[in-house]
Structure 1
Amino acid sequence: MFITKHEDGFLYIVNQYDHSKQAGQVARHWGNEDFIRPQYFSSMCLGVEKHDIGWIESDEKVLFDKVKSQPVPFLSVNLLQHVDFYGKGYEKVKAEDTYAGLLVGMHWMGLYTSRFGYDPSFTFNIPQDLAPQINETITHMQKEWVDLKMELWKKKGPRSEFENHLWMNYEIVQFMDRLSQYVSMHKHDTTNKLVMGPVRRNLENKGTMITVQGQGDGTIVVDPFPFASHVETTVKQRKIPNVKYATHSEVYKALEEAEYEEVKWTFVPPVEKKTVEQVEFESVN
């Protein structure tokens, strides 16, 4: 679950898989004159949509922190549970679509490896006593991907081109995940600015950082803009009082009784700056 605290005394909660589905819907708008759609685009969108499908059970049962007496936010989930949830989701998506499953696996392992170096500022906190087990999981998964890649590539075109498209798709998955987190963890009136990426515009590009900033009214300016047109999207959230809950059952009941609210957001490109000549021409005419 995404759980954020705000000054109004409530916990704002978005289910992990609801976030995942919302991200997948937005991902399908990817691509314009500046940002290409890589190979396996439909599979990539499916991977975005289902990258958190393994978290459905935890969302339904509601993980509870007995010490803090509150539900557990996703970044505080026990590491072994984290591995279990993502592992189940990876297997489920892989059975449906091999390429999408591969991307979900890459997303999963990237959470323990600073996103394979794409985002050195981020990695899941790994306790020292669990490091050998996690490293073994990372190694095992990457060995498994060798066979998956061979199955998908089938010697159609250069292997380097296949890998290039795969890693570009991975970059898009990471961006879409973080963009969805932005609207899932901010209030509608946010003006917070975040820089995300890098994401390549094309296979030759070295990667572009993308700035995301709310305008205070549910409109989010994305610069540079990677979508075909303005994108309207909806986040499903619930609110429960930000208090200590005596038992797991008590917080579970509070969530059961909380009504879902649909919060609408719109992603838009930055307003083009007019040149002096344009302004003078428009004033004359």
Structure 2
Amino acid sequence: MIVQSAPPGSPHFVITQVDHARFSGQFARAFGNRQFAAPQPRELMTYVTAHHDEGWAAVDAAPKHDPRTGLPYHLTQTPMPDLLRTGAGSPDFNQRRHPFCGLLSSMHTYGLYHGRYGLSDTIVINRIPPEYQADARRMLQGELERQASLKAQLRSNPETAEWASDAFLFRCYKLLQFFDMLALYFNTTHATQRSSVTLTHVPAGPDEDRDITITPVGDAYALSPFPFAESGMTFWCEGRYLSPRAEETDWGAVMRETPCQRETVKLIAH
């Protein structure tokens, strides 16, 4: 669950991880122009991006009350047993679609605990409380074994063998991280509190990465360089506006009873 920041006294836009992933998938579908090569394989990249957090579905269906905020637990504050439940769930789901989807989803899970394979300085595995270390390492070892198996499946088929190469996979992984981080930029922070940020290591082609800066400009967001098909494209994410409650709350019931609303963003070339 993602609990967006909000001005004092205002409700928070609360987004399930599945809806966050669907938002990310819109970026994957629109990515590509003369400066940036479109993701390949396009359909599978779009699918895994749009479903990269599918393992959260059960956790977000019954979100727990965070007494510190009076809202459901935000992503980074999720109780560790629930967080570990999501780790293998997303690769399990994506693997059923295609070995490539399962492999990239597994890399996403593993990377979250290991500094996104060097793209981030945050090493989550080192911050896990001692009582959960064994479970976390067992889950992550399972993902390494899954990755080895899925790579072997891809290599066994001449049509997909190239997709199992380290260089190709890491390029696809970096694209997934860009789509994820761009979605998180909007999902985690209220529009009035967003500032200019730079997302690094965005693949422009097989041998070139670019850094992309996002800057709020009026009612839009300017990206430089611009990686999508057309300037002025709009993207949307569903969520629910919720206010804090002092008492323990059945947030699953509240979420089911609260109508979804859309937050829309417009991206323009700088």
TM-based fold match above 0.5: yes
CA distance in 2, matches of 1:50, 1:165: 20
Name which of structure 1's ranges 78-87 and 129-138 shifts more when overlaid on structure 2: 129-138
Number of the residue aligned with 1:279: none
Q: Number of residue pairs matched?
A: 266
The separation in 1 between residues aligned to 2:7 and 2:40, in whole angstroms, is 44
Secondary structure of the equivalent of 1:233?
strand
Helix, strand or coil for the counterpart of 2:30? coil
1:79-94 to structure 2, matched below 5 A, reads 79-94=80-95
Residue 5 of structure 1 corresponds to which residue in structure 2? Answer: 5
Q: CA deviation at 1:160?
A: 9.2
The superposition leaves residues 193-250 of structure 1 with CA deviations (integer Å, 9 ceiling, x where unpaired) of 1221212211222x32221122241x11112211121331112122122342x1223x
Distance 2:164 2:89 in 1: 30
Q: Letter of the 2:71 partner, please give it.
A: Q
Q: 2:236 aligns with which of 234, 237, 242?
A: 234
- In the superposition, the TM-score normalised over structure 2's length comes to 0.88
The residue type equivalent to 1:23 in the other structure is S
What TM-score results when the alignment is normalised by the length of structure 1?
0.84
Provide the residue aligned with 1:211 in structure 2.
Answer: 213
User: Residue in 2 aligned with 1:195?
Assistant: 198
The correspondence for 2:130, drawn from 117, 123, 128, is 128
Which of structures 1 and 2 has the bigger CA Rg? 1
TM-superposed deviation, 1:174: 0.5
Asked whether the 8 Å contact 1:190–1:214 carries over to 2, the reply is no
Picking from 159, 171, 174, the partner of 1:171 is: 174
SS in 1 for 2:205: coil
Inter-partner Cα distance in structure 2 for 1:35 and 1:121 = 28
Superposed, 1:57-76 pairs within 5 Å as: 57-66=58-67, 69-76=70-77
Pick which of 99-108 and 257-266 moved more.
257-266
Conserved 8 A contact 1:115-1:123: no
Q: Secondary structure at the match of 2:228?
A: coil
SS at match of 1:13: strand
User: Helix, strand or coil: the match of 1:234?
Assistant: strand
| Inter-partner Cα distance in structure 1 for 2:69 and 2:92 | 33
Q: After the TM superposition, which residues 13-162 of structure 1 pair with which residues of structure 2 at under 5 Å, given as runs?
A: 13-66=14-67, 69-121=70-122, 123=124, 125-154=127-156, 156=158, 162=165
2: distance between equivalents of 1:137 and 1:211?
35
SS at match of 1:200: strand
Aligned CA RMSD, in angstroms, stands at 2.4
Q: Is the 8 A contact 1:189 1:215 kept in 2?
A: no
Deviation at 1:171, TM superposition (A): 0.3
What residue in structure 1 maps to residue 225 of structure 2? 224
CA contact (8 A) 1:3 1:185 kept: yes
CA distance in 2, matches of 1:187, 1:46: 27
Where in structure 2 are there 5+ consecutive unaligned residues?
Answer: none
State the Cα distance separating 1:32 from its structure 2 match. 1.5
